[in-house]
Structure 1
Amino acid sequence: MCLNHICIPKELRCNGLNDCLDNSDEQDCGPCGEDGVRCPEGKCLSAAERCDGTFHCSDGSDEPRTCGRICSIGNGGCSHVCVDEPWGVLCACPTGYEISTNAAVCRDLDECAQPFAPCAQYCTNTVGSHRCRCRRGFKLSGNTACLATGNATRLLTLQRSSLGLLNLKSQQFEVIQNLGSEPVALTFDLLRGRYYWADGQGRLFQTDGRSRTMIYSGQPGIRGLACDWLNGHLYWTNQKTQAIYMGAADGSSYTTLLSKNISPSELVLLPVESLMIWINAGPGDRVTLERSSMDGSDQSPLAVLTAQSVHGLTADVAARRLYWISDFKKVRTKTHNVHWI
């Protein structure tokens, strides 16, 4: 817990970044003077307190097994690299290994189990290293990245009042439809070749690139819009009505999925897994990532995003990661190893 009562993952402490927003996660992170040792809880010990036979740190790191040893005798008990110190020996490990809890033996580092795994998609741990692989439809670029095969990736976006596709390789913008006014949300159905958008008046439109049709008219406040490409249905959130809706793509009918104790904004769907995930504003300044089945059942929180001023939620389905934008932190942010199921 930070001093301002925001909670962050433990691995972000002392990483050189102001993750707490009040810099309290970077306090007591420097060296503890000559030959001193810092405990995981932040307390500094003097050189005399190290290897004095008494455990001062909560994890016992001030009393390693190598206290009083020298490297010239049995490599100081180290399995790999041994360095003489005034208090004993310091054992170190080569790349791809980490020191065990006894501070003497190096064990394989499972890079794939790290908070942010090095591979874009599949990661296989090997002794002292790891190997990256890509899902079908992607190819490995370099050692870690996965690029989609086939046609160049295109981004559905706006240029002034024109809805279109931006070719990320050539940077060419292909106009799909002139809208006349700027929409508040966009989505597409790649399977059926249709594009959808919502405007500030609470209306939903669709186009196939030739004709435009209004398929729904309701209350203003639409914020998130997503397409169930598996079944062709549309999902949207409305911040004013504080609800999540599902409707037929032709506008023939719609229903309210969730409307109790929620305040949803951005929304993404995972149709193959029948899941939807959204950003939800709770009491006070509490903001969370929420998930539920696509019928609105089994709602549960995924992560707390308080104090990030978050928007722009999207999913990398292949890598099973969620991404969003933080206005407050001025960075793109992502979750890792998200348990969607």
Structure 2
Amino acid sequence: MSHLGGLFLLLSLLTWHHIWGAAGHTLPICQGREVKCSDGSCIPRQSVCDGNKDCDDGSDEYQCSHVWCKKDEYACRSRRCISLHFLCNGIDDCGDGSDEAPCQNCTAGSISCGQSDMCVSRNKLCDGRTDCSNGWDESQELCGLEQPRPQTSATCKSSEFQCGDGQCIHLAWRCDNSPDCSDGSDEDNCDQDECQVNKGGCSHYCIDQPMGFICHCPDNMRLVEDSHCEEVDLCLERDVCDQLCVHTNRSLTCACHEGYLMNTTTRACQAKGDEAQLVFTSSKGMQRISISHTEYRELELHLPGPGPGPVAPLASNRTLYWAQQGQGSIYRVSMEGHSQEAVVVLKDKGSVSGLAVDWIHQLLYWTDMKSGSVNVGLLHGLVHRRLITGLDKPSGVAVDPLQGLLFWAQCGKSPKIERAGLDGRDRTALVTSLIRLPVALALDVPRQLLYWVDQQMRSISRVNFKGHDRKTVVESNGYLDRPFGLTVFEGFVYWSEEVTHSICRANKHNGSQLQVLLKNVTSPGGVVVSHPVLQPNGPSVCGSPGSACQHKCVVNLLAAAHPEFSCISPEAELNKTREIPAISHTVPTSTLSDSTFAGILSLIIFLSVLLVGMALWWWREEFRPSRPLNVQSFSLKESQDPLIIQAPPAGPNTCLVKETLLKLDLDGE
């Protein structure tokens, strides 16, 4: 009978070996930036359709015709689609230089036909007529798969002028005695009245000039970007109130939010309670000073490779989140006590460039310069995901969970500042012009203003949360040559400066009262103010700006397209299982890591072997000769779970197997 038991065990192991092999060959093992070949191997995504067979079976070069690009778009070798107007403009718009490759030995605005060394005008590409002797200007590679037809340029906005080659420029640039179109068509026929056609693109009034025209706005409005009028917020226009401002009878009355007191002398709003702490990072680690500059100390933190980097506070428990510049890991440290150990929240291969804490929904947002993304995760870091991708050098992030708004900046070829909901949807551009290198963002939550520091323009500016009422509040003053961090508190903006090795502040309204708080700071980095008043409690908008949630907000970061914010009423919560937390920790199978999956498989195999052993034991016990009555057997008063092996009551190994399984299960989670 023992031979039969051995045979049964051998067959079970062979069966599981087969299942293991099948699972190992059918489950996806490629990483996020890889694609799978037909034979199951993985290659980098950028190797697909690059003209080289990187898969052993060549499947990475199947179906690689340029069907993904639209008519009048150029298909780069990098698989990016760009407008034909961007060809040969001296800028690497493709990212791999393929849009500038055909431009050798040709004048500006002309493109080489290839090996024929012939040059044609850019506006003759894909116009239905072959101008290159080799037909390259009408080729499928350049023009897509549609039948050639006369080129129709994209329609320009009402505030733009369409050049002869289809390019769109600002309407105010027409007839300004400076050609802005590549073909100079913006300076043709300049003796006509431009205001006769669509008011010259002006939103309100158009005034014709002997040369060109100008747009004009009604009273209480001002001109923005040469053509649009926006209402003037008198409170922000005069900019004298720190927080609340009431405009009545042409006069302004200032007030302070809850948690602040107004100084009777300066009329400034000052936070109640303990004095706020200004925390900044440097090559020495993390340091802090009091706002009044009466106290300075270095936080005794055991950080892995201390250095400058972004930092974000969670005021409710005096916790700081920090990332080293150029690295992908994020750490959590406490401001309490003396010597503190840094706790790893999450590890990644990216490059964290900005951090922000959502204290209402207990979320952490960060920008990753390497992956070009804005990311979101739970504060403990166990669950996180990419939220917004395809960004060009994202450099800073800020969040206002009370309004349900997320802000970020990017400083690549097209620098700008954008806004979205906490779930990444409803994306809107706030600042797109007169911005070059925004390196940090900060919010003035009481006034609903967004501040940013521009390293190349050497200035600190602000707009409201809709992108209006823009103002430069601090300009180059000898301490803005290379700013890094930025924060706003009470009536001041604070920033760190790398050239002068200093921590500075100035009036947030007009840049006056410049004060160098600290000098001789080696490589200063991120800077924040920690005070409970900056993170007030309030109703959750539950992911959607403008819709307050009066009950519990449940966040599921692992929803398919976007994180899901759900407002759960007490009645609905009673119908839920008690195991569902306020912030969802559920991890679907498709998101499990390789190590987690291997752990689960190991647990399954362990259980299977254990069951086989129990079956063999039962087999042998059932058919062996009867035993004396004094041999210990299962008690009906004990658990009947077949996975629990009973031991004598006083023995130290009681329920050892069950405890082991529980530990494995927790580890797997």
Compute the TM-score of the two structures, normalised by the length of structure 1: 0.63
What residue in structure 1 maps to residue 284 of structure 2? 161
Aligned-residue offset at 1:279: 0.6
The corresponding residue for 2:511 is none
SS in 1 for 2:402: helix
How far did 1:297 drift? 1.2
Where 2:293 maps in the other structure, the secondary structure is coil
Aligned to 1:220: 350
1:299 pairs with 404, 410, 427, which one? 427
State how far apart, in whole Å, the 2-side matches of 1:144 and 1:41 are. 43
Q: Where do 1:53-202 residues align within 5 Å?
A: 112-113=234-235, 115=237, 117-141=239-263, 142=265, 145-176=268-299, 177-179=301-303, 180-199=305-324, 200-202=326-328
Distance 1:190 1:144 in 2: 26
For residues 240-279 of structure 1, the aligned pairs below 5 Å read 240-260=370-390, 263-279=393-409
> Could you tell me how far apart the structure 1 residues matched to 2:243 and 2:332 are?
33
CA contact (8 A) 1:6 1:306 kept: no
User: Is residue 2:463 matched to residue 1:335?
Assistant: yes
Is the helix fraction higher in 1 or 2?
2
Corresponding residue for 1:309? 437
In our comparison, the structure showing a higher alpha carbon Rg is: 2
Deviations 1:146-202 (A, max 9, x none): 222222222121254231332010342233325342042111111132111112221
Which residue is equivalent to 1:322? 450
Letter of the 1:172 partner, please give it.
E
Task: Give the letter for the 2:462 counterpart.
Answer: K
Question: Is the contact between residue 289 and residue 305 of structure 1 (CA under 8 Å) also seen in structure 2?
Answer: no
Distance 1:41 1:149 in 2: 53
In the aligned structure 2, how far is the partner of 1:158 from the partner of 1:60? 46
Counterpart-to-counterpart distance in 2, 1:126 and 1:298? 34
1:203 maps to: 329
Quick one: distance in 1 between partners of 2:402 and 2:294?
31
What is the alpha-carbon distance in structure 2 between the residues aligned to residue 189 and residue 60 of structure 1? 45
Q: Which amino acid aligns with 1:311?
A: V
Matched AA of 1:196: Y
Q: 1:305 to 1:182 in 2, by over 3 A?
A: farther
Superimposed CA distance per residue, residues 27-64 of structure 1 (whole angstroms, 9 cap, x where no aligned partner): xxxxxxxxxxxxx97979xxxxxxxxxxx998799xxx
Read off the aligned partner of 1:154 and give its amino acid letter: Q
Distance 1:266 1:59, change over 3 A: closer
* Aligned position for 1:286: 414
Give 1:296 deviation, angstroms.
1.0
Q: 2:207, 2:295 → 1: CA distance?
A: 53
The residue aligned with 2:362 is 232
Matched to 2:422, the amino acid is M
- Greater percentage in strand: 1
- Cα 1:191/1:114, change in 2 over 3 Å: closer
Q: Distance in 1 between matches of 2:217 and 2:444?
A: 41
User: SS where residue 182 of structure 1 aligns?
Assistant: coil
Q: What amino acid is the match of 2:271? A: A
Give how far 1:224 is off.
1.0
Summarize deviations over 1:294-335 as a string: whole Å, max 9, x none: 111111111224443222210010111111112233222111
Q: In structure 2, how many angstroms separate the alpha carbons of the residues matched to 1:231 and 1:59? A: 45
Rate the CA distance shift 1:145–1:250 in 2: closer, same or farther, 3 A.
same
Find the aligned partners of 1:129 and 1:274 in 2 and give their Cα distance: 32
Residue type at the aligned position of 1:168: I
**Conserved? CA contact 2:450–2:464, under 8 Å:** yes
In structure 1, C-alpha distance between the alignment counterparts of 2:217 and 2:271, rounded to whole Å: 48
**Counterpart residue identity of residue 280, structure 2:** T
Amino acid paired to 1:120 = D
Given that residues 189 and 232 in structure 1 are in contact (C-alpha distance below 8 angstroms), is that contact kept between their aligned partners in structure 2?
Answer: no
Cα contact 1:189–1:229 (8 A) shared by 2: yes
In structure 2, relative to structure 1, the CA distance for the partners of 1:332 and 1:144 (3 Å cut) is farther
SS at match of 1:240: coil
Please give the alpha-carbon distance, in whole angstroms, between the structure 2 residues aligned to 1:334 and 1:168.
22
- Specify every segment of 5 or more residues in structure 2 that has no aligned partner in the other structure, as ranges: 1-158, 160-167, 171-205, 221-231, 468-544, 547-669
Q: Which residue of 1 aligns with 2:110?
A: none
Q: How many Å separate the matches in 2 of 1:338 and 1:123?
A: 18
User: What amino acid does structure 2 have at the position aligned with 1:112?
Assistant: L
Distance 2:377 2:214 in 1: 58
SS class of match (1:220)? coil
Contact 1:226 1:267 survives alignment (8 Å): yes
CA RMSD of aligned residues (A): 3.5
2:235/2:246 contact within 8 Å kept: no
Structure 1 unaligned residues grouped into runs of 5+:
8-39, 45-55, 62-97, 99-109
CA distance in 2, matches of 1:171, 1:338: 38
